[in-house]
Amino acid sequence: MRKIDTGKLVVITGPMFSGKTSRLLELLEREMRAGRKTILFKPEIDKRYSNAHVVTHKGIALPAIISPIDSKARKFILEKSKGFDVIGVDEAQFWDPKSNLHNLLEELVFLKKLIYVSALNKNIKNEAFETTSKLLSSADEIYTLTSVCAKCGNDATLTQKIRNNKEVFKKVIDVGGNDKYEPRCRNCYVQYRHK
């Protein structure tokens, strides 16, 4: 087993369907093959596919611990991650900004933990998620992924929320998959109009 000499925060970001969770699981599996003790957390509001696993849209899965996303997250994650070398966090944008997830993960990095986090880059209004922004500003390494635009096939960097083939902007936090969202390039993305 290769020892971790220094902590590191790696953030994987991009729009829906860009492979963020797939990359996260791939990196965690690599660490497990290296013999490192690894733990994975998922937000309590993400009940897609499984309650006990993080599952990609393609069906690849790893066991996960369901975490609170509010102020209780800090104590919970600190307690559950004791004795682990590598910590994974999926869908970090769902953690409430008041949970200070970025501060907690930064603290763990200074304890020589290797942290891998996946997070949406922007919400459906093309605005940054506060938790994602703070994680990106603390990251030692960032993977920025793109998807394929559902309209034209170009690289997609944005996420469009849809209902009955129409773009909608209600309920920014709304867990779902291709039943609710499409990846879009800038040319095909329908912008939110602030009133």
Contact assessment for residue 116 and residue 90, using Cβ atoms and an 8 Å cutoff: no
Contacts of 10 (CB under 8 A, 6+ apart): 27, 114, 115, 116, 117, 139, 140, 141, 142, 143
Q: Residues 44, 79, 91, 127: which is the catalytic one?
A: 91
Clarify whether 44 is annotated catalytic: no
Q: Enumerate the active-site residues.
A: 91
